[in-house]
Homo-oligomer: A and B are copies of this chain.
Amino acid sequence: MKPVNLKRLAEELNLSVATVSRALNDRYDISQPTKDRVRELASKLNYEPNPYASGLRRQKSKTIGVVIPEVANHFFSLAINGIEEVARANNYHVLIYLTHEDYEREVSVARLLASGRVEGIMISVASGSQDYSHLDSLQEKGIPLVFFDRVHEGIATANVTTNDYESSFEATRHLLDSGCRSVAHLNLSKSLSIGKRRLQGYVDALQASGIPFDEELVVHAQANKVQDIETIQELLLKRPDIDGFFASVESLAMCCYEACRNLHLSIPNDIKVIGFSNLETASLLDPPLTTVTQPAYAIGKEAAQILFRAITKNVPIAASQSVELKSELIVRGSTGASVDVVVAKIR
């Protein structure tokens, strides 16, 4: 089966390859009748231009890369939705890379992306990362980079984040307002941008309420469910005064639920829980989880739009294009007073 390429079209039409190419690209210097002939045959033969050839020639891959820690996570999958939406609107393709929170993986992905395979990158850094020279060198190669949610401040480019500090401050205050006196904070990593900011919001809210900060009440998680549940249980046994948990990521809020269940502690009677989360089922949990919900889809979309503005205008991204979106505190049963409601039944 002969391949369908420009040469083939040109031969069958008795035209030059150049003319066919220009006709398909709708250039002004080709006559309408010729364009029509070319297009007709092209669609008849299902011609599709070879992206590797045109990519090589034009130095454009029409592809962006997305680097995230995990995809089995509502926050990131919603963000991907937003990114894909914008990419498609721009006729771009999306390569996806998962770091699984692992520094080594992030470094190797960065190396892969340094080759011109993508015209731009959107990244949310791994919790295991401490050194960022692999990202610096992408920046140096002139590949536009946008950070979202988990950023690396050391690079002058746009960051799309949420108001983590304020949200954490509010979330903590909400726990205190709900009667908690001994609130533990579950953190993913101190070295992560969001880790720092969310911890700081917690610390400052305690201080604002005149409650001393207690280092022992801050748990740094492993991002391993079984281990993290274990850690939380140990803390609960060691510190029976704990009456509230503020989880800085969704998975840790779920670990709290499991830990409390294992220890037969009631949420919210014994322990109140609040967590950053994009769980669709938050309101269906037992009890419904009070959440700080980030606009994940909007974050992905916004970040992608910034990236594509840079790609299409061919200008570098300035740090001043950074955007901070607002998260929302949604109060539900896990921080409420527990009430038994008797409801009217329809049958």
Contacts and interface: CB of A to CB of B under 8 A. Distances in A.
A156 B49 CA distance: 27
A77 B71 contact: yes
B264 A281 contact: no
A81 B72 contact: yes
Contacts of A53: 56
A51 B115 contact: yes
B96 A80 contact: yes
Interface residues of A, number: 59
B51 A116 contact: yes
Given A71-B77, A72-B78, A84-B96, A116 B48 contact: yes
- Interface-centre pick from A53, A71, A285, A344 (highest chain B CB count, 10 A): A71
Contacts of A270: 345, 347
Contact of A257 (B116, B237, B284): B284
Contact of A115 (B50, B71, B254, B266): B50
A266 B141 CA distance: 60
A345 B265 contact: yes
Nearest to A59: B52
Contacts of A112: 48, 93
Given A71-B71, A281-B285, A286-B287, A51 B346 contact: no
B96 A264 contact: no
B264 A114 contact: no
Interface in A46-104: 46, 48-53, 55-56, 61, 63, 70-74, 77-78, 80-81, 84, 93-98
Given A72-B78, A84-B97, 5 more contacts: A48-B115, A95-B95, A264-B343, A264-B344, A285-B286
16 contacts: A46-B137, A48-B111, A50-B115, A53-B56, A70-B81, A71-B77, A71-B84, A72-B78, A72-B80, A80-B96, A84-B98, A257-B284, A270-B347, A284-B285, A284-B286, A285-B285
